[in-house]
Chains A and B, each alone.
Chain A
Amino acid sequence: MAVTAVSDATTRPVPRLRRLEDERWLALTLLAPTAVLLGLFIAYPFVEGVLLSLTNTRVGVEGGFVGLKNFHKIWDDSIFRTSVWNTFWYTGVTTVFKLALGLWLAILLNRHFRGKALVRAFILLPFIIPTVLSTFAWKWMFDPTFSVLNWTLFQLGIISQRINWLGDPDLAMASIIIVNIWRGVPFFAISLLAGLQTISPELQEAAAIDGARPWQRFWHVTWPLLLPVTMVVVLFSVIQTFADFQLVYVMTGGGPANATHLFATYAYQIGIGTGLLSEGAAISLAMFPFLFLIVVVQLLYIRRVETR
């Protein structure tokens, strides 16, 4: 087919559609819109960002080349160091909880009961409702004076006076972590549920006949089979959490006293809030090595699974 198309092309003037018979031309045409948009708004800004971080540009002031000065500056910046630590802590803690709770919820959902479809539809709500909007509901629930959480804890006899959730650095961090877990658990649960459903129940039965206890069945049969899906879900979630912005921006804005900044919120505060564009770009780009590492791990893992 392709051969006749090419020989046609040499003898007669080529109608445009005829050229699309050649797979390479067709592929080029089909990929062109994507390449243009991604090139213009991902590759180009990336290069611009690197260049910007090497200058001392501020809002309205065209800067000159200063080399790695911005990176030296943020390296010595104690708030930046806190943000780096916060980002790792935030990502690590939330991922462990999201995985554990998500897996638990997936197992609870992986059986037949009345209203299953409805429950599944409802529990995904935290994941699909715009994060900023649901985070405002949480912020209102955490309000020290009008907080329903304080009221509940007081009624249960756990606390005797008000807790200033977002006013204390450690509690503020804990609050942010709670909201992130709340938002992420449905995604983990639904993805892992899909993974669980591909595992044949016969394997479980066979293990049960061989005398495996429920915990052993989970650990030696279910978990290894679930691992590929788990890996992908965890890596996606780690990237999203590592680069998170909206949740912290709404809950604390990086406060109290800059104690809860992540990379992204601090980059925003310096780059947009203060107007030090090149320093903000440098803070954003400081995320890159870590993200790069995560992506490489993911690509290697996918390749390994595919070639197996």
Chain B
Amino acid sequence: MIEGALWRKWVFYNIPLILFVFVLLFPFYWMIITTFRPDGELYRPWNAANYQPFWTNNPTLDHILYLFEETSFARWMLNTMFIAIVSTIISLFCGVLAGYALARLNFPFAGGLGTAIFVTYLVPQTLLFIPLAEIIRNFRLGDTPWALILTYPTFLIPFCTWLMMGYFKAIPKELEECARIDGASRWKAMVYIILPVAVPGILSAGIFAFTLSWNEFIYALVFLSSPDQKTVPVGVTSELIRGDVFFWGPLMAGALLGSIPVAIVYSFFVEHYVSGITGSVKG
């Protein structure tokens, strides 16, 4: 960027970038400001004289208190956390093993199986939710966390497998062969030599799976019914809207607090998350 005057740098790079960041982040600012805004200010029409959109002089914790006292919000957080963690662990376990097999072993139909897993990677939840709801009911899993813990891996495993295949392929074969020459079995070579090297990949897949299960909506909406079993996205949607009345304060407080666990996990592992995204599109 040595060529060109300073104003060009501002017009072509800095100002557009600032606008992008502003638009991408503004809804979150709106979420935060609404959470702390008292109802009296919240329900003031936009064309009122004292409409003051970007700031509040009387911050309040009422909406957050409402969330914890009048709804099962704490319960929803725990449910979501539990479901996200367990389904992530199951998916990582399956995905790492399957990814290893598909990337490193020679066996009949390896190519076909790889393609099959890739295809399931692309099956959206909305294609199967109605028959799946029937199956969940027949298995007597309806309205339990297990309905989600067992079904979330269907979209997490293909992703983890795909990502891990990429990682395993990048690890040199010699590493394993050395261990095998020293007398390690295939299983031991995998567990003690290859898996430790693949830890960054496992971490990426895990972070990604965690955020995906926290984000999942339609299965949770259809498979769960009692208020105490719900996850955050479904609980907020179904319990803070009564008919046509939206409880905007608590809704935004719920949206804010419900986003925080994902944001924290993400902030610790940004690099792994980004390499997860790029790994998933490169394959």
Give A143-164 as 1s and 0s: 1 = Cβ < 8 Å from B's Cβ atoms: 1011110111010000000100
A133, B259: Cβ atoms closer than 8 Å: yes
Question: Could you tell me if B134 and A34 are in contact, using CB atoms closer than 8 angstroms?
Answer: no
Q: Are B101 and A26 in contact (CB under 8 A)?
A: yes
A121 near B267 with CB under 8 A, answer yes
Whether A190 sits at the interface, judged by CB under 8 Å, is yes
B186 in complex: contacting residue of A23, A28, A154, A272, CB < 8 Å: A23
Closest A residue to B110 by beta carbon equals A27
On chain B, the residues within 8 Å of A145 by CB distance are 45-46
A86 to chain B, nearest CB (A): 14
Distance of A151 Cα from B135 Cα, bound (Å): 49
Query: What chain A residues lie within 8 Å of B215 (beta carbons)?
Result: 128, 130-132
Contacts of B65 in A (CB 8 A): none
Q: Which residues of B contact A143 (CB under 8 A)?
A: 248
Say yes or no: is B187 at the interface (Cβ < 8 Å to chain A).
yes
> Is B59 on the interface with A (CB-CB < 8 A)?
no
Taking the closest CB of chain B, its distance from the CB of A5, in whole angstroms, is 9
Which of A105, A113, A245 has a CB less than 8 Å from the CB of B217? A245
Report how far A306 CA is from B98 CA in the complex, Å.
21
Q: Is B262's beta carbon under 8 Å from chain A?
A: yes
Contact of A140 among B34, B217, B267 (CB under 8 A): B34
Separation in Å of the A41 CB from the closest CB of chain B? 5
- Chain B residue nearest to A109 (CB atoms) is B17
Q: For window 272-308 of chain A, which residues contact chain B by CB distance below 8 Å?
A: 272, 277, 280-281, 284-285, 287-288, 291, 294-295, 298-299, 302
User: Nearest residue in A to B133 (C-beta to C-beta)?
Assistant: A272
**In the complex where A24-B108, A27-B105, A31-B97 touch, is A146 in contact with B43 (Cβ < 8 A)?**
yes
Q: Is A133 in contact with B236, judged by CB distance below 8 angstroms?
A: yes
User: Contacts of B180 on A, CB cut-off 8 Å?
Assistant: 1
User: Are B127 and A134 in contact, CB atoms less than 8 angstroms apart?
Assistant: no
- Asked if A277 meets B130 with Cβ closer than 8 Å, knowing A119-B21, A190-B274, the reply is yes
Which residues in A have their C-beta under 8 angstroms from that of B34? Answer: 137, 140
Residues of A within 8 A of B16 (CB): 104, 108
How far, in angstroms, from A44 to B136 measured CA to CA in the complex? 12
CA A191 to CA B275, docked complex, whole Å: 9
Interface contact A298-B107, CB-CB below 8 Å:
no
B119 touches A250 (CB 8 A): no
A134 to B122, CA, bound (A): 24
Contact of B154 among A38, A109, A113, A133 (CB under 8 A): A38
Are A131 and B252 neighbours in the complex by a CB distance under 8 Å?
no
- Return chain B residues, CB-CB under 8 Å to A117: 270
Give Cα A263 to B127, complex, Å.
Answer: 9
Instruction: Check B199 for interface membership: any CB of A closer than 8 A.
Output: no
Which A77-135 residues have C-beta < 8 A from chain B? 101, 104-105, 108-109, 111, 113, 117, 119-126, 128-134
Give 1 or 0 for each of B266-283: 1 = CB within 8 Å of chain A CB.
110010011001101111
With A121-B267, A138-B27, A229-B281 given, is the CB distance from A49 to B106 under 8 Å? no
**Stretch touching chain B among A6-14, A168-176, A181-189:** A181-189
Complex: A166 Cα to B115 Cα, angstroms: 42
The answer to whether A141 and B258 have CB atoms under 8 Å apart is no
Contact B248 A162 (CB under 8 A): no
Asked if A137 and B27 sit within 8 Å, CB to CB, the answer is yes
CB distance from B188 to the nearest CB of A (A): 9
**With A and B bound together, what is the CA distance between A267 and B185 in angstroms?**
51
User: Mask for B25-63, Cβ within 8 A of A = 1, else 0?
Assistant: 101101100100000001111110001010000000000
When the two chains form their complex, are residues B124 and A147 in contact, meaning their CB atoms are under 8 A apart? no
The distance in angstroms between the C-alpha atoms of A23 and B107, with both chains bound, is: 7
User: Is there a chain B Cβ closer than 8 Å to A201's Cβ?
Assistant: no
- B157 with A239: CB separation less than 8 A: no
Inter-chain contact B134/A277, CB cutoff 8 Å? yes
B267 to chain A, nearest CB (A): 7
Contact A232 B126 (CB under 8 A): no
Is the Cβ of B232 less than 8 Å from the Cβ of A133?
yes
Q: Which 9 A-B pairs have the closest CB atoms?
A: A243-B124, A264-B126, A49-B131, A194-B278, A133-B255, A132-B233, A30-B101, A48-B131, A151-B46
- 24 inter-chain pairs at a CB distance below 8 angstroms, sorted by A residue, are A21-B185, A27-B105, A33-B94, A37-B154, A40-B150, A45-B128, A45-B135, A48-B131, A49-B128, A108-B20, A109-B17, A143-B248, A145-B45, A146-B44, A146-B46, A150-B46, A151-B53, A243-B125, A244-B126, A272-B222, A280-B130, A281-B130, A291-B124, A295-B119
Q: A31-B102, A41-B132, A120-B270 are known contacts; what are 18 more A-B pairs with Cβ within 8 Å?
A: A23-B106, A28-B107, A38-B120, A48-B131, A48-B135, A109-B17, A121-B270, A125-B25, A131-B215, A133-B259, A141-B27, A145-B45, A151-B46, A194-B282, A232-B282, A240-B124, A245-B126, A287-B124
